[in-house]
Amino acid sequence: MGKLILSVDDDRDILDCLELILPAEGYSVVTSVDPENIRADIAEYNPDLILLDIQMGAYNGLEICKELKSLDDIRDIPILILSSDDRIFEAVGKYHADGIISKPFDISGLIAAIDNFLAAKIISLPRAS
């Protein structure tokens, strides 16, 4: 499989949808309904990109994003906020998210956003003639 995406959302239906869509596009996906363990999940899976909801019970995905972006070993992992919460528009500037995707999302828009961030990580190597 391709690059790995970690998606953290308290809505199991969204996670189930991502588990169907992303592998069909060539991505590996790990999902979690528990944001409390996000740092352990990052350490275990070493994701290439993180999808993060805002409202997750007692947890605020924007604050989690800001915290993750302050950590040297995590800050370079792109984080896309995937939410219907109006605070999503503060995510990039105030909370240092790399991008936003509004719920309900268009599947082609979701894939295009993910492709945009993960394609930038591909490095062309010169080929021998």
Q: Are 7 and 28 in contact (CB under 8 A)?
A: no
Range of the domain at 20: 4-119
Supply the pLDDT for residue 122: 44
How is residue 68 written in tokens?
A: 């993750």
Does residue 124 lie in a domain region? no
Does residue 14 lie in a domain region? yes
Confidence of residue 58 (pLDDT cuts 50, 70, 90): very high
Supply the pLDDT for residue 128: 52
Does residue 111 lie in a domain region? yes
Does residue 128 lie in a domain region? no
Confidence of residue 124 (pLDDT cuts 50, 70, 90): very low
Does residue 115 lie in a domain region? yes
What is the percent of the chain where pLDDT is above 90?
A: 88
What is the percent of the chain where pLDDT is above 70?
A: 91
Number of domains in the chain: 1
Does residue 38 lie in a domain region? yes
User: What are the φ/ψ torsions at residue 76 (nearest 5 degrees)?
Assistant: -85, -5
Output the pTM of the full model.
Answer: 0.89
**CATH value at residue 61:** 3.40.50.2300
